[in-house]
Structure 1
Amino acid sequence: MAAGTSCDFAFSAMAKRSDRNPAAWRRPFLSWLDGVEAGWAVPLLLACFVAVWTIYLVIAYCGAGLHPDVLETWTFGRHFAWGYAKHPPLMGWVAGAWTTVFPSADWSLHLMAMTNAALALWFVDLISRRFVTGDKRAIVLLLLMLTPVYQFHAQRFNANSVQLATWPLATYCFLRSFETPTMRWAAAAGVTAAIALLGKYYSVFLVASFALAALLHPQRRAYFTSAAPWISAVAGLAALGMHLDWLVASDAAPIHHALMHAQSDLSTSLQDSLSFVMGLAAAMAVPAVTWVMTAGTRITRFAKDFAALNDGLRLLFYVAIGTVGLPVATSLIIGTDLPSLWALQGLFLFAVLVVCGASYRIERFYTVNMAVVVAAIAIVTLTIAAPLHALYRNSFGYEEGRTFYRQVALETTRQWRELTGGPLEHVGGTESLAFATAFYSADHPLYGLPALPSQPDANTSPGAFTDHGWVSLCFREQADCIDAAEAMAVASGNYVRREFTVQSRLFGLAGLPRTVIAFLVSPAIGSGGGSRRSP
C-alpha cells in the first residue's frame, strides 16, 4: 500500500510539473484540449477517428470481401421496405441512403460503418456536455476509443452496430425530456426510442430501462404527472406505425427470427448470462484500468462521488443498470441466448457515469497521455496490424470464405453470360456466397431464388420455376447446401452443374484455394424438362 501511495504521489508531482511547464511535444495536444469548448476539438477528433479506422479496414481487408453481415445489410438496402425478413428496417435504410450518395464499394461501406461509430461518439458527447466541460468531455470519448466497440464491433455494420448511434441519441432525448418535460423533448424521446427499436428489437431493453429509471428516480412524481411520458408514448407509436402494420402483414417475420434465440434451458441461460456480464466487463477492461491509473488514490472517493450524483447522472445510472439487468433477467426467465455483443452499444453509459461523476479535476498530464495512447494504438494498428492481418487471411482464409467473394462473383457471372447470353438476375445458395455475388457481380443479381418453394416435392412439375434464370452457389464441403440446391435445380427441369476452383490473391501472392459448386438454371438451357451436367 505504501509503495502504491508513493508511486501515486510521484505521478501526481509529475503531472503538476508537466501542467506548469509542458514538454514541446505536448503543446499541440494541449491546444487541442483548449478547443473542446471552442467547438472544433471534438469534430477534429472524430474526423481523425473515421479517417484512420476506415484506412485500417481498407488495408486489413484488401484481399477479402466485406463481412456477410454488411453484404446482407446492403442487400436489404437495395429496396425500401418497412421491415425485412430477419430484422427491422433501419440498417437497410441507412445502407440504402448511403449508397444513393456513395458507390457500392468496399471502401464506401467501411466508411459508412466508421461514420456510424463517429456519430455514436458525437451523441455520447451531447450527453457528457450536460454534466462536464472541457477535458472531461474528451476523456469520455478517449476511454470509449480504448474499447473494441467503436472500431472492430462497428465495422460489421448490421442490426447490432446500427444501435451504436441510436442508443445514445435516444438516451440524450430521454434525459432532456426528463429534465425539461416540454412537448418538443417528449416527442423527441418517443421518436428516437422508436428509431432504436427500428434498428433492433433488442432496444426494447433500452426503452424498458427508461421506464425503470423514471420509476426509481426521486423526481418520478413530477415526471409522470406531466404530459411528457404520454407524449413520448404517442410519438413513439406513431413513428412505429408503418412498421407495425408491416409486421402484421408479414406474420411478424423478424420476431419469429428473433425467437429462434429463445430455446435455451436454465443451465445454458445461466452460463450465457455470466458470459454476457463478463464479456461486457472485458470490453471495458482497458478503459477501466486507464481510469484507475488516472484517478490514483482519488479512486477511493468513488463511493462518496456515487452518493453525490446529481439528478441527471442518477437517471443515467438507473438506465445503465437496466440495460444490463433486464436482458439477464429475461434470459433467465424465458431461456434466450445472450451474447455480450448485443449490449456493447450501452457501455457508453458507464464511461459517462464514471468520468462525469468524479468530483475531482483530471490533470492535463493524464488527458494528454490518454490521447497519446489512443493515437499510438491507432497508428500501430494501421501500419503494422492491418497489413499483417491481410497477409494472414490471404494464406489461411475465413470460414465464411471472404477471400474468395470477388473471384466467385466474377467467375459465376462469366459462366452465366457464356451460357445464356444475358445478365444474371437471381442468386441463391449459401448466404455468404449469394450476398457476395449480388454485391460484387457487375449484374448485381437479386438475392434469393425466384418463386421457389422451400422444399420442392414430387408434385413439383419440371420447368415450373424457370421463368427467371438463377444460380445457386455452395462451397464443395457444404453438403447440405449442395443437396438443397440440387433439389431446386432438379425441380426446375433445366440446369447445369458446374464446379470451379478459386484462389485468394493479395498483391500477386497466391493464397488459399477453395472449390465452389454452382447450379445454373435458365430457360435457355434446354426444353421439355431436360437437364444436363457439365463435366
Structure 2
Amino acid sequence: MPVDFALSAMAKRSDRQPACWRRPFDRWLEGVEAGWSVPLLLAGFVSIWTLYLAVAYHGAGLHPDVLETWTYGRHFAWGYPKHPPLMGWVTGAWTSAFPLTDWSLQLMAMTNAALALWFVDLIARRFVGGHKRLLVLLLLMLTPAYQFHAQRFNANAVLLAVWPLATYCFLRAFETRAPLWAIAAGLTASLAMLGKYYSIFLVASFALSAMVHPLRRAYFTSSSPWISTAAGLLALFPHLQWLAETGAEPVYYAATHVRADFLTSLQDATNFLLGLAAAVSLAAATWVMIAGYRIRRLSRDMASSDPNLKLLWHVAVGTIVLPFITSIFLCTDLPSLWALQGLFLLAVPIVCSTRYRIERFYTVNAALLVAGIAIVAAVIAAPIHALYRNSHGYEEGRNFYHQAADKLTRLWHEEMGTPLSIVGGNDSLGLAVAFYSSDHPYYGDPFAYQYSLALPRQVTPERGWAALCFDDQDDCLEWTERMAAQAGHYVRREISIQSSLLGIPGARRNLVAFLVAPLREPGSAASSLATMLAKTNIAASRSTAARRAGLFVVIR
C-alpha cells in the first residue's frame, strides 16, 4: 500500500510538472480528441511490428496458413474448403493491389490488427474521451493477440477486425434502433460468420445480452432486431446455397474437432480459460498498477456504469462462457486462440467504467512499456529468432520454401519445357511452391484425402503436374507415387536443400519431387483417365469414395 500511495503522489506531481522528456508524450495525449493521436499510434504499431516480422522471418517463408488464404483468394467463391470465405476474399483483394511478397502479406496482417484496434476505439469513444481511449488500445497491445496471433493471418486472425466492427454496429443498432444501423448490424454479424463459424458465439451473445438489458422491451418490440436478422440471413444466403450445393465441406471440417472423450474435452475447456488468463496477464498486471488501491472500486464502478457498457460486458461473458459450455457438451477441443479476437470486450468495459481520473503519468508509462516491448522485439528478439530458426528450422519446413519452389520450377522446365500448372504433395510445400514459384502453379491438394481446392477450368491434369514430399514423410511419398503412376509417365527426383540466412548456412533437408509429364496422345489410356478426371463434377469429387480411390481430382 505505501508503494501505491508513492506512485499516486508521483503521478499527480508528474501531471502538474512533467519532466522535459514527458512533454512530447503529453502533447500526443492532448491530440486524441483532435483526431491525430490514435492514427499516429496505429501507424507506429504497424511499422514496428511489420519490421519485426520481416527480420524475424528473413530467409524463411510465410506460415502455411497465410499461404492457404492466398491460395483460396486466387479466385472468388462463396465458400472454400475448411473455412468460410472471408479470409480468402481479404487476401485476394490485398494481393490484387500489392505484390506477391512476404513483406506484403506481413503488412496485410499488421494492417488487419491496426484496423481492429481502430474499430475498438470507435467503441471506446462512445463512453470515454481523452487519453483513456488510448489506454484501452495500449492495454490490448500488451496482449499477444494483435502482434503474434495477428501475424498468422487465417480464419482466426481475420476476426480481429470483424468482431469489434460487428460489436460497434450492434451497439449502435441497440442504442438508436434505426433501420440503417440495424442493417449494418446484420451485415457485419454475417461477415463475422463468413470469417469463421465460431462467430456464432458472438451473435448469440448479442442476443442474450440484449435480453438482460433494461431496455430489452424497447429493443425487441422495435423493428431493429428483425431487420438485423433479415439482413444477416440475406447476406449469408449465397454462402448457405454454396454449402448446400457442394456438400458443406467446411462444416465437416469443423466437425473434425468433435471428440468422444468427455474428460479430454473438459481439460481442453479448462485450458481454454487458463490460456485466456495467460493472454491478458500482462495487460491485467499493468491495469492493477494503474488503478492501485482504486481497483477495489471496480465492481462498484461496473454496477453504476452506462447500461450499454454493461451490455458489452455481458457480450464478453457470453463469448467466453458459451464456447466453454458448448465444448464440454459436444466433447470438442477448444484452443484459447480461437477467442483472442474478443479480448477487447473485456478491456473496454473495465477501463471505460472507471469513475475516477486516471493521471497522464500512467498512460505515458503504458505507452513506453508498449513501445519498449516492440523495439526490443524488432531489434533484439527478431534477429535472434531468425538465426535460431535458420539453424534449427521449422516443423513445417518454412526455411526451405523459396529454395524448394525455385528448384522444382527449374527442374520442371528442364524436364518438361512448359510452365508448371499444378502442384501438390505435402500441404505446406505445395502451398509454398504455388506462391513462390515464378510460374505460380495452382495448388491441387492431391495428398491425404483432406480437402479439395478449386482449379481454373483451363488447368487440367493433361497439362502435367508436380508434387513435393519430404523424404521422411512416408505417407506422402507412398500416396503421391501411386497417384503419379496412375497418371502415366512421371519422373522422380531427390532434392537436397539447405537454408541460408545472409550467407550463413543453416539446416538441411531432403525432398522428393514427382513430375508427371503433360499428355500429348489423346488416344492413350492415361489421357482418357485425365480427361475423365477433368470432367468430374464437384459433388463426386468431394465424396469420400472418390478421395479414397487415390485419384487426382480437379474441382470446379
TM-score, normalisation: structure 1: 0.94
Give the corresponding residue for 1:509.
504
Alignment match of 1:40 (pick from 36, 40, 45): 36
Cα drift, residue 528 of structure 1: 6.6
Q: Give the alignment partner of residue 477 of structure 2, picking from 465, 477, 482.
A: 482
2:433 is aligned to 437
Alignment of 1:191-340 (within 5 A): 191-340=187-336
Report how far residue 221 of structure 1 moved: 0.8
Compute the displacement of 1:222 (Å). 0.8
Unmatched 5+ residue regions in structure 1?
456-464, 531-535
Query: 2:70, 2:91 within 8 Å by CA — same for their partners in 1?
Result: yes
What displacement does 1:371 show? 0.5
SS in 1 for 2:510: strand
Task: Note if 1:470 corresponds to 2:465.
Answer: yes
Query: In the alignment, is the contact (CA less than 8 A) between 1:420 and 1:524 conserved in 2?
Result: no
Q: Which amino acid aligns with 1:438?
A: A
1:264 is displaced (CA, Å) by 4.0
Among 138, 144, 168, the residue aligned to 1:142: 138
2:419 match: 423
User: Hey, what does 2:386 align to over in structure 1?
Assistant: 390
Q: Aligned partners of 2:518 and 2:88: how far apart in 1?
A: 32
Q: CA deviation at 1:490?
A: 1.1
Give the Å deviation of 1:218. 1.6
SS in 2 for 1:467: helix
CA distance in 1, matches of 2:493, 2:141: 47
3-state secondary structure, aligned to 2:463: coil
Summarize the Cα distance change of 1:413–1:156 in structure 2 as closer, same or farther, 3 Å threshold.
Answer: same
Residue 200 to residue 453, structure 1, CA distance change in 2 (3 Å): closer
- The one-letter amino acid of 2:350's match is V
State the Cα distance separating 1:219 from its structure 2 match: 1.2
Matched, 1:187 2:183: yes
Q: Given the alignment, which residue of 72, 76, 83 partners 1:80?
A: 76
Pairwise CA distance, 1:27: 0.8
Q: Which amino acid aligns with 2:56?
A: A
SS in 1 for 2:357: coil
Query: Which amino acid in 1 is paired with 2:494?
Result: E
- Give 1:524 shift: 6.0
Q: CA shift at 1:509, angstroms?
A: 0.2
The letter of the residue matching 1:268 is: T
Counterpart secondary structure, 2:40: helix
What is the alpha-carbon distance in structure 2 between the residues aligned to residue 493 and residue 47 of structure 1? Answer: 54
**Can you list the C-alpha shifts for 1:441-484, whole angstroms capped at 9, x where unaligned?**
0000000168x9959xxxxxxxxx95130111111111111111
Cα-to-partner distance string for 1:387-434 (whole Å, 9 max, x where unaligned): 111000000000000000000000000000000000000000111000
Note the aligned Cα RMSD (angstroms).
1.6
Q: Trace 1:405-420 onto structure 2 (pairs within 5 A).
A: 405-420=401-416
2-structure distance, mates of 1:466, 1:368: 61
1:118 aligns with 2:122: no
State the Cα distance separating 1:74 from its structure 2 match.
0.5
Partner of 1:19: 15
Return the TM-score normalized by structure 2: 0.91
2:448–2:479: 8 Å Cα contact kept in structure 1? no
SS at match of 2:462: coil
Distance 1:178 1:364, change over 3 A: same
Q: Which residue of 2 aligns with 1:379?
A: 375
Equivalent residue number for residue 461 of structure 1: none
CA offset digits 1:116-164 (Å, max 9, x no partner): 0000000000000010001110000000001111000000000000000
Is the CA contact 1:69–1:158 (under 8 Å) kept in the aligned structure 2? Answer: yes
Map 1:155-194 onto structure 2 (within 5 A): 155-194=151-190
Is residue 2:489 matched to residue 1:494?
Answer: yes
Residue 327 of structure 1: CA displacement?
A: 0.3
Q: Which moved more, 1:308-317 or 1:183-192?
A: 308-317
**Structure 1 SS opposite 2:156:** coil
CA contact (8 A) 2:259 2:265 kept: no
Distance between the aligned counterparts of 1:432 and 1:226, measured in 2?
Answer: 51
List aligned pairs for 1:349-360, cutoff 5 A. Answer: 349-360=345-356
- Counterpart in 1 of 2:515? 520
| CA distance in 1: counterparts of 2:92 and 2:121, whole angstroms | 27
> Are 1:101 and 2:86 matched, yes or no?
no
Q: How many residues align?
A: 516
Q: Is the 8 A contact 2:110 2:147 kept in 1?
A: yes
**Which residue does 1:459 correspond to in 2?**
none
Conservation of the 8 A alpha-carbon contact between 2:71 and 2:431? yes
Deviations 1:70-106 (A, max 9, x none): 0000000100000001111100000000011100110
CA distance in 2, matches of 1:281, 1:454: 37
Question: What is the Cα deviation at residue 439 of structure 1?
Answer: 0.2
Q: Using the TM superposition, give the Cα deviation of residue 34 of structure 1 relative to its aligned residue in structure 2, in angstroms.
A: 0.3
Cα separation, 2, equivalents of 1:173 and 1:328: 26
Distance 2:22 2:149 in 1: 31
SS of corresponding position for 2:78: coil
| Cα distance in structure 2, aligned partners of 1:446 and 1:35 | 49
- CA distance in 2 between partners of 1:480 and 1:453 (Å): 8
Give the Cα separation in 2 of the matches to 1:434 and 1:362. Answer: 53
Letter in 2 for 1:248: A
Structure 2 unmatched runs, 5+: 451-459, 527-556
Report the alpha carbon displacement of residue 323 of structure 1 after superposing the two structures with TM.
0.2
SS of the residue 1:501 aligns to: strand
Change in 2 beyond 3 A, CA 1:449/1:380: closer
- What is the CA deviation profile of residues 17-52 of structure 1, one whole-angstrom value per residue up to 9, with x for unaligned ones? 111111111111111000001100000100110111
What do the CA deviations read for 1:349-390 (whole angstroms, capped 9, x no partner)? Answer: 101011001111110111101101111111111110111110
Structure 1 equivalent of residue 547 of structure 2: none
**Are the counterparts in 2 of residues 120 and 168 from structure 1 also a CA contact under 8 Å?**
yes
Q: Is the 8 A contact 1:397 1:403 kept in 2?
A: yes
- The alignment status of 1:8 with 2:13, answered yes or no, reads no
C-alpha separation in 2, matches of 1:501 and 1:139: 51
